[in-house]
Structure 1
Amino acid sequence: MAVVGGLRAAARKIVLRWAMRKTSGGLPDITTLKRVPEHLTYPLRRLRVDPVPQLAEQRAIDPIHQLGDILGIKIWLVSGHEEAKVVLADMTSYSNDIRHLLGKRDQSGADGVGGLGFTDPPDHTRLRGVLTPEFTMRRLRRLDEGIEAIVEKSLDEMESAAAAGDGTVDLVDLFGFEIPFRVICDLLGMPEDVRDEFHDLGIARFDVSEGGAGAFDAASETRSFLIETVRRQRDNPGDGMIGEIIRTKGDEFDDVELGGLADGVFLGGYETSAAMLSMGAYVLTQNPEAYRLLREGTPAEVNSVVDELLRYLCPVQIAFPRFARHSHDLFGHSIGKGDVVIVSLSGANRDPAVIPNPEQFDLRNAETMHFAFGHGMHRCVGAELARMELRAALTGLARRFPDLAMATSDLDELGFRNLSIVYGLDRLPVHLHGAPVTV
């Protein structure tokens, strides 16, 4: 048996060496990876909304462990709450710059990584400084009325669709996707006629079931569109964020940089919010008391429901990878220079060491700090906008359709996504006015 195991391990290494061609500097080119090795995938797997048991089992043994070793690069997984907090806040020991693993892609154009998540200071500081003023509470208040109108329009369309059909609607399509898409298009000043294209590309960007090539190709397509949007608005700035940045600081940034920023805002504010709204509605159909609080509760109670949904569901399963700048000790583990450290946000959010009832949706957990928006310098810049959307959309849903119920007992119909960095579901058929189904 030991011989067979050794042969399998050797064969696996050979496959990986063929699957991941090296860059000219001797490092692997992750954009050519055709398949993520099975033993590395469990942090991205779930059983419906719950992480697979292996994640909790490993956290109980040690919340930091070596997940794998690919072509000489060690990959460490962090799944504990305190350990995650330390890693995510440490910009001295770690870099977020992933460009050394992107092979021969042209980093100066749409193939570049763009945005904030894969950049370090001083570039990160300069770019985030452009976005931060756009996401202050004072600036966001101007969006309140528009978000409420978008929610009401989507709820009206759901009502019409149910009346025109058999009384059921798909909340993923008409609620989860529509609301954040419209909000982010209004925020950026983008046309909505790219809806179907961006819907598909948004999902593809976080899907690693076929390796890295598809995800990076989808990312290039979305960035190409947004870079072109910036170019068009140079001469005629729009009313949204892109136009405002061009008017006030356009001379300080080129089209690729601004397109990358817009891309980060679009993906951070669209796909993650879509996943949260759809999965949140699913969880609420199973938790009538929380659904009632959204209708009748105080603002503090509503906030508790939203925060517990964020902790419990945490659609962004892992944080941006951290690359060790130098060898160092991490809670008794020797991290080598160049090692990759992955933080499981969904794992850290369910750490029994700090969370009272971690595996259940329980409002008593809501006071515990969660990592749904990350932590530290790379914490999601649009976190407060996301909260606004979730509050408006979920309270609107609860008030308009207090008898909302699942329309199927076969949860396989929901199409929970496999191996996606941003976890979600593809369908959520519901009755808007009752006829509950036991699941």
Structure 2
Amino acid sequence: MVESYQTRHSLAAPLRVDFQSLAGKRDPFAFFADLRDAGLVVPLKAPIVGRIWAATTYAATSAMLKDNALFVQESRHAGRSGVVGLSWWMPRAIKILSNNMLLKDEPDHRRLRKLVDQAFQRRLVRGMRGEIEALADRILDDMEGLEEVDLVADYARRFPLEVICWLLGLPEKNRDAFAAWAGRMTSALRGFAAIRIVFSMPGVVRYVRSQIEECRKTPREGLISELVRAEQNGDKLSEDELLSMVFLLLFAGFETTTHLITDSVIALEQHPTQKAFLFADLDARMDRATEELCRYTTPVQSTKPRYVARDCEFFGQKLQRGDNIVGLLAGANYDPAAFDEPDELKLDRLPNPHLAFGTGIHFCLGMQLARVEVQSALTRLYARYPNLELAARTTCNGSSASACAACTNCRSG
């Protein structure tokens, strides 16, 4: 599969690329354009994972995501052992949680996904919009009277966590403590802070186990009880599968949606003409605008690492069995070969085949929920604060592909 001639690369000589650089956050379009110019598939050195191949273009990333026979999740299918990025010294709790459907190949992936797909179907999620908007309004009530708020901490992070806790059926009395732990976990990006979080995991695992056990004894509203009862052709989740599934639902989309909401507000404020266009006919334009905001912000820059199942040539680059590879979703979504003027925010863009939620069998389980969440978050926020404006930008923490999103405050005038 060769798109065009490109320079041959080697994992022995990875490119020097800093995904956390301030320059890359300020101008992600130029950053990923440089990577595409370097090659369709290039070698990088990633934290924890080490040397890894990266598909940089829309065509290469899409092809990688769709070929689940050549690019596999489970190391045993590529002559390797373990899980990418998971060290031998990590607690057993971490290893249990890694046993989730995101890291499974067929047929195990299909079996696990069937048990939760029903809850995330488009019609069911859209039916939850009223409750989701009510949660947004409750958070906005708490912000009432504040002249300046932290968009991330006070709204964009709290809102999706409230939604998923409600969806799972976690008791309200535990949510503040759980939210605090989740915030610490997702902000610990590197070094000893991350290690401390790793070793605090057993306590959180015990809490989730206790919730599962309570749902076994006394079923209640929420996905935990549904998963406990779930059965497809006589196949139920094992205890460890159930535990890892709950954690996956809790965290797979939580931080992603936080960045999507934050970056969407920033994008609208930085493009007042597009913002005015959207709110001039919100009901008719919101669905298409949501897709463009997903593409433009691309809150997840790359896929999780996969293994190369056999020696091959992929888009002109020779790969060996057992190599690791990722797809750069931001590079794909900003690729001019796939999108006209990709560095422009066009809320009426059509078609818009973005890869913000991935593609292939591992496309994002919660994409329908994320769409409803960002729509609800934006409509309720601007209904309450139509004159909202960005107040300041401090130092970037490297949270997402777009410019310094997670360090912006808002004036709620």
TM-score, normalised to structure 2, is 0.83
Given residue 59 of structure 2, which amino acid in structure 1 is its aligned partner?
A: E
In the alignment, is the contact (CA less than 8 A) between 1:110 and 1:224 conserved in 2?
Answer: no
C-alpha deviations, 1:152-171, integer Å up to 9, x for none? 112222223x1xxxx11222
Distance (Å, rounded) in 2 between the aligned partners of 1:71 and 1:284:
35
Q: Does 1:285 align with 2:278?
A: no
Among 159, 183, 190, the residue aligned to 1:179:
159
Q: For residue 143 of structure 1, what is the aligned residue in structure 2?
A: 128
Pair 1:152 & 2:132 matched: no
Contact 2:90–2:198 (Cα < 8 Å) also in 1: no
The Cα of 1:189 is off from its aligned counterpart by 0.8
The offset of 1:142, in angstroms, is: 3.4
Q: What secondary structure, in the 3-state scheme, does the structure 2 residue paired with 1:39 have?
A: coil
CA–CA distance in 2 between the matches of 1:211 and 1:94?
32
- In structure 2, do the counterparts of structure 1 residues 309 and 68 end up closer, same or farther at CA, with 3 Å as the change threshold? same
Let me know the Cα RMSD of the aligned residues. 3.2
**Is the Cα contact below 8 Å between 1:234 and 1:246 reproduced in 2?**
yes
- Quote how far apart the aligned CAs of 1:123 are: 1.9
- Structure 2 residue 217 is matched with structure 1 residue 235: yes
Cα offset for 1:180? 0.6
**Maintained 8 Å contact 2:278/2:289:** yes
1:208: how far off?
4.6
> What residue is the counterpart of 2:101 in the other structure?
116
Question: What secondary structure, in the 3-state scheme, does the structure 1 residue paired with 2:291 have?
Answer: helix
Partner Cα distance (2:379, 2:110) in 1:
36
Q: Kindly tell me: are residues 197 and 405 of structure 1, through their superposed partners in 2, closer, same or farther at Cα, counting changes over 3 Å?
A: same
Is 321-330 or 207-216 further displaced after alignment? 207-216
Match of 1:253 among 228, 231, 237: 237
Q: List per-residue Cα deviations over 1:245-301 (Å, max 9, x = no partner).
A: 212339822222111111111112311111111121122211223333443324342
Partner in structure 2 of residue 82 of structure 1: 59
> Using the alignment, how far apart are the partners of 2:40 and 2:372 within structure 1?
33
* Counterpart contact for 2:390–2:410, Cα < 8 Å: yes
Separation in structure 2 between the aligned mates of residue 425 and residue 217 of structure 1, nearest angstrom:
29
Contact map agreement 2:29 2:343 (CA 8 A) in 1: no
Q: CA deviation at 1:54?
A: 4.3
Specify every segment of 5 or more residues in structure 2 that has no aligned partner in the other structure, as ranges: 1-11, 76-81
Secondary structure of the residue aligned to 2:42 is strand
Structure scoring higher RCO (CA < 8 A, sep ≥ 6) equals 2
Counterparts of residues 31-430 of structure 1 (less than 5 Å): 39=16, 41-42=18-19, 47-48=24-25, 50-51=27-28, 53-68=30-45, 75-97=52-74, 99-101=82-84, 102-104=86-88, 109-112=93-96, 113-160=98-145, 162=146, 167-191=147-171, 192-193=175-176, 194-204=178-188, 207-208=189-190, 217=199, 222-249=204-231, 252-363=236-347, 365=349, 367-408=351-392, 411=393, 413=394, 415-418=395-398, 425-430=405-410
TM-score of the pair, normalised by structure 1? 0.79
In structure 2, C-alpha distance between the alignment counterparts of 1:184 and 1:72, rounded to whole Å: 29
- Is the 8 Å Cα contact of residues 308 and 319 (structure 2) preserved in structure 1? yes
Query: Alpha carbons of 1:427 and 1:420: their partners in 2 closer, same or farther (altered >3 Å)?
Result: closer
Query: Match for 1:89: what amino acid?
Result: K
Distance in 2 of aligned mates of 1:72 and 1:216: 17
The answer to whether the Cα contact below 8 Å between 1:201 and 1:218 also exists between their aligned partners in 2 is no
1:187 and 1:336 map into 2 onto residues whose CA distance is 42
SS of 2:101's equivalent in the other structure is coil
Shift of 1:364: 5.4
Structure 2 CA distance for partners of 1:149 and 1:197, relative to 1, 3 Å: same
Q: CA deviation at 1:73?
A: 7.9
Deviation at 1:118, TM superposition (A): 1.5
Q: Is the 8 A contact 2:25 2:403 kept in 1?
A: no
Say whether residues 1:431 and 2:389 are aligned partners.
Answer: no
- State how far apart, in whole Å, the 2-side matches of 1:196 and 1:70 are: 26
Q: Compared with structure 1, are the counterparts of its residues 97 and 231 closer, same or farther at alpha carbon in structure 2 (3 Å cutoff)?
A: farther
Q: CA deviation at 1:324?
A: 0.5
User: Deviations 1:101-127 (Å, cap 9, x if unpaired)?
Assistant: 534358974433133221212221111
Residues 209-264 of structure 1, C-alpha deviations (whole Å, 9 max, x = no match): 67985675576665554334323322222311011121233982222211111111
Report the secondary structure of 1:75's partner residue. Answer: strand
Residue of structure 2 equivalent to 1:28:
none
Number of residue pairs the alignment of both structures matches:
387
1:218–1:344 distance in 2 versus 1, CA, 3 Å: farther
5+ residue gaps, structure 1, are: 1-12, 14-36, 434-439
- What is the identity, as a one-letter code, of the residue corresponding to 2:208? L
In 1, Cα distance between the equivalents of 2:28 and 2:243? 34
Given the superposition, is the C-alpha separation of residues 182 and 42 from structure 1 closer, same or farther in structure 2, using an over 3 Å criterion? Answer: closer
* Secondary structure in 1 matching 2:351: coil
